Amino acid sequence: MANKISDETIEYVGILAKLELSEQEQQDAKADMEKMLDYIDTLNELDTSDVEPMSHVFPINNVFREDVVTNGNQMEETLANAPLRGGDCFKVPKTIG
Amino acid sequence: MSKQYETVIGLEVHIELATKTKIFCGCSTEFGGAPNVHTCPVCTGMPGSLPVLNKQVVDHALAIGLATNCHITRVCKFDRKNYFYPDNPQNYQISQLYLPIARDGWVEIETGGVKKKVRIHEMHMEEDAGKLVHDEWDDTSLVDYNRSGVPLVEIVSEPDMRSAEEVIAYLEKLRHIVQYLGASDCKLQEGSMRADVNLSVREIGSDAFGTRTEMKNLNSFKAITHAIEGERERQIELLEEGKQVVQETRRWDDNKESSHAMRSKEDAKDYRYFPEPDLVPVMIDDEWIARVKAREPEFRTAKLARYQKEYGISQVDAEILTESRNMAELFEAATALCKKPKKVANWLMVETMRLMKEHDMEPQDLRFSPENLAGLIEMTDKGTVNSSVAKEVFEHVFLENVDPQAYVKEHGLATVNDEDALRKTLEEVIAANPQAVADYKGGKEKALGALVGQTMKAMKGKANPGRINELLREML
Amino acid sequence: MDILSLSAVELGKKIKAGEISAMEATQATLAQIEKEEPRIHGYVTVDAQGALKQAEEIQGKIERGELTGPLAGVPAAIKDNICIKGRLTTCSSKILSNYKPTYTAEAVEHLQDAGAIILGKTNMDEFAMGSTTETSYFGPTMNPHNVGHVPGGSSGGSCAAVAARECYYSLGSDTGGSIRQPSSFCGVVGLKPTYGTVSRYGLVAYGSSLDQIGPITKNVEDCAAVLTAIASWDKKDSTSVKREDYDFMGSLKADVKGLRVGIPADYFTEGLNKEVAEAIRAAANVLKEQGAVVEEFNLSLVKYAIPAYYVIASAEASSNLERFDGVKYGYRAKDYEGLHNMYKKTRSEGFGAEVKRRIMLGSFVLSSGYYDAYYLKALRTKALIKAAFDKAFENYDIILAPAAPTTAPELGKSLGDPLKMYLSDIYTVSVNLAGLPGLSIPVGKDEKGLPIGMQLIGDHFQEKTLLRAAYTYERVTGKEAR
């Protein structure tokens, strides 16, 4: 049952998670993930074929807001922590060429 | 080209819903204004903030789902769609994948007199992204989150369309349904309605689908038509050369009138959807559905048929009058008051349209009441005002919704029907224009027109030109 | 009189009676912080000036009769993943090391309304991921009972600060045991309320379906008082639950006659330290002597809770932590080429090893092709675990268990083997999966003098039963953190 994680998988997950791992970190991540997945695989001992996946513990539903404007101009607050500000916007490296 | 090809098209249509506030926070959805003024911790993804669903969004989505003959998902849920992009402040979009609000619907379209059903695969609610403005000079982009969190529905069709014409008909159909419901203004050029085109080609007679591409950034019917034609040709060319069509997303460039592939190793297209833990399920019961159904208006297709049958309005005119629900309702209400459908139609199609164009207004911006339009029609019919005065009065009805009766009275615009006063004025005009009188008597019919004009001028337009004509002939 | 040895409620009473001023209490606590911080490092930030200013204002309100509650004028500390407007809220991470929220968490607003004096923000495992407070970007917190040992985690700073009398009470957060386990290690009382009882609005999310804010206090009475202050039905948190009871002070009766207490026999296995096991059984005996009906039973599914928990928590965390990208707030890498490189560098430099490990795992289990096998499987296991608890609560009012299998480990001994560290959450994570309330109360010490905590688990909304049992134990034994 031992899980094998390939270099490609680690690289792929790095792209999804936007993490750039060093060579050493990649090898560590592979080992960690293999170990964790082996452990997680113990869940397969359980027969859950008749069990519905449970996201919320309580059967709460229909929690709504009314369609009423409650927020005023919060531009300065929104931008207060910006690492790089351009005018009244957040500034980022160019998105499309 | 040796083989005959057929184009297979499915659409993903995004529609911005007409709510006052965003889908998950109390920020205004108002257009314009400075960047980031309509933002708060929720719609900018501040740590610790949480979404709360706007009920009006569900109401609108439900109405659209019902009007497009969908099955409503009685317990629908939200999911997170994870991808990194700066216009998406949380780097996940709250959307619906596993249990969207509506599924398996259809709308009927008509092209070249042929009717056809286009099936709807599913429709879901989601949040819009912010806006990116690109600075060409220093290789940066600027992010404005005013649009972030504006509610959308995405309507995904089955690949049932075969031409640009059918695509446009389908979009028009959706637009009319959604506008009639008051759920969105559906303006393609302003982005409140957006269509992504999924297109593949196959040999005619084949049952299998070809490899499809998805085209984005189509902001007008013209762009959609050109993009479909261009992509069809590109794919056929590839196949004719024995090459493969690559499944990819392509971006339409309006200036270049062509599309290019959006390819990046960083766009893995693996959205890792999972149920949104911060929101609870939406339960839609029979009562809620009945409530939304009860508010459903008579849709355009029904009105088109009824106008021709009930009011004797032509197909072409009916199409103009029903282009928007507001215009159609004005027509119906004014007609109910004055019982003169053709005259009401005429005022709406000629003067109203002219003034709308002049003032750059949309049908939903019309503010005058049917009572005032009907009142003006009555006044013209009775001869209380002549047609040129009526047009002048209508301009004020159109802009300020004035009561035409009161307005005419206040400004002394009523036609003068006092025979003595008219004769007195005519005598003066005749005396003052001996040449014209002589010309008329000499057989020049045109000269009479000049005299009528002089009389109208003297009476400040408040006379009935027909009566002046009669009296003049009599007096000369 | 030693001001610092008072409980929060006792101090509140004396302030109200005019025997001590809020200013005196604040000054005494700040002096204690100055004295103890070099040894403990419980805080990320201490705002002495701000605290003194609050003390002055609050003293005035108390004197004018505008503040009458039991916590008015009492100095408190807040875990650094709970937002306070204008004050650094770092989650003990480099990526948020300069972040000042523009709004205050609902739970903190309730404390402020109750007249709390907020001294500062407490240290924690980075983004609450860890069991030792050693993954903090700002360095570890030490256990006040023995500074060679960890305080537990992730709310290690909050628990250590209470134990070291650097505040009268604190708020922590608990996703898989992060209040109960460090409370046990530090010898204080910690409660994780029923999911939905305390608003999560303003709590920087780790595992959204599991996270709850809760009180960390010197004794059970304080615990009830703080819970009463922070519990609320909040419309800003869609998962907030409207409860019938919001006053928990009435539960403070030393009476457990007829209370049905179940001890899961399957918790007392080889992994459990002998001294801890003995202390828990002795504590159970105390309740039995007071008239409780104590029985052993099999809870079942015990070993599946941790794998299910790590799948769900990591998956949610991988998504919750996507927002830290250098665009809107927090750290941004200095040098980068283009957008995606900026994302990657910022996140790789900004997050520590444990956070990256969980983000990688979470992203993997949600990725195409693995969602059903891992994520849905874990959600199904969660349903089974909840059902097992439901069954247990048909027979028992309370489940009595250890809070952790051992006492506090030595500093530097845990992070080398993550899986082993995760296993120490074995008695706490299932409570989060099932959304139940759980309370940890000190019941003794091991031979090294390190505290041992007993965990009491109740059915949904049964905090009062937990508080009553814990209060009874405390009254009978006289064991309180002072």
For residue range B208-248, what is the model confidence (pLDDT) as tens digits? Answer: 999 999 999 898 999 999 999 999 999 999 999 999 999 99
Nearest C-alpha neighbor of C150 from the set C138, C160, C163, C164: C160
Give C-chain residues touching B80 at CB under 8 angstroms.
Answer: 319
A13 touches chain B (CB under 8 A): no
**Whole-structure pTM value:** 0.92
Report the CATH number at residue C413.
Answer: 3.90.1300.10
For residue C462, pLDDT beyond 60: yes
Sheet of strand B102-111: strand arrangement: B71-72, B102-111, B114-127, B151-157, B5-16, B193-203, B213-218, B249-253, B258-261
pLDDT, tens only, A59-93: 999 999 999 999 999 999 999 999 999 999 999 99
Upper half-sphere CA count for residue C130 (Cβ side, 13 Å): 37
Helix axes C377-395, C305-320, angle to 10 degrees: 130
Contact call for C322 and B277, based on CB within 8 A: no
For residue A97, pLDDT beyond 50: no
For residue C236, pLDDT beyond 60: yes
C319: closest CA of chain B, how far (Å): 7
The token pair that represents B228 in the structure block: 């479909």
**Residue of B45, B47, B270 lying closest to C368 (CB–CB):** B270
pLDDT at B417: 65
Asked whether C99 and C110 are in contact (CB, 8 A), the reply is no
What is the average pLDDT score of chain C? 97
For residue C482, pLDDT beyond 70: no
Contact call for A12 and B28, based on CB within 8 A: no
C482 touches chain B (CB under 8 A): no
Distance, in Å, from the CA atom of C226 to the CA atom of C223, rounded to the nearest integer, reads: 5
Q: How confident is the model at residue C100 (pLDDT cuts 50, 70, 90)?
A: very high
pLDDT at B322: 95
Give B-chain residues touching A70 at CB under 8 angstroms.
Answer: 21, 26
Choosing from C16, C79, C464, C479, the catalytic residue is C79
Amino acid sitting at position A47: D
A-facing residues of B in 131-150 (CB < 8 A) are 132-135, 139-145
For residue A39, pLDDT beyond 60: yes
Amino acid sitting at position B422: L
Contact call for B82 and C366, based on CB within 8 A: yes
Give A-chain residues touching C348 at CB under 8 angstroms.
Answer: 19-21
pLDDT at B416: 66
Positions of chain B with pLDDT under 50: none
C233 touches chain B (CB under 8 A): no
Sorted by where each begins, the domain ranges of chain A are: 1-46
A1 touches chain B (CB under 8 A): no
The token pair that represents C352 in the structure block: 């520590």
Counting other chains too, the contacts that B454-462 makes at CB distance below 8 Å and 24 or more residues apart are B454/B429, B455/B425, B455/B426, B455/B429, B458/B425, B458/B428, B458/B429, B459/B416, B459/B422, B459/B425, B461/B386, B461/B388, B461/B389, B461/B413, B462/B386, B462/B389, B462/B412, B462/B413, B462/B414, B462/B415, B462/B416
Residue range(s) in chain B whose domain bears CATH number 1.10.10.410: 419-475
pLDDT at B457: 81
Q: Which residues contact B192 (CB under 8 A, 6 or more apart)?
A: B15, B16, B184, B185, B186
Pairing between β-strand B213-218 and β-strand B249-253 as defined by DSSP bridges: parallel
Q: For residue C451, give its domain range.
A: 1-482
Contact call for A65 and B52, based on CB within 8 A: yes
CATH 1.10.20.60 fits A1-46, yes or no: yes
For residue C102, pLDDT beyond 60: yes
CATH topology of domain B419-475: Arc Repressor Mutant, subunit A (1.10.10)
Interface test with chain A among C332, C364, C372, by most A beta carbons within 10 Å = C364
Comparing B443 with C284, the larger pLDDT belongs to C284
Q: The tokens 């090391």 sit on which residue?
A: C97
Distance, in Å, from the CA atom of B62 to the CA atom of C296, rounded to the nearest integer, reads: 52
Total tally of structural domains belonging to chain C? 1
What's the mean pLDDT in C133-137? 98
B209: closest CA of chain A, how far (Å): 30
pLDDT, tens only, C341-394: 999 999 999 999 999 999 999 999 999 999 999 999 999 999 999 999 999 999
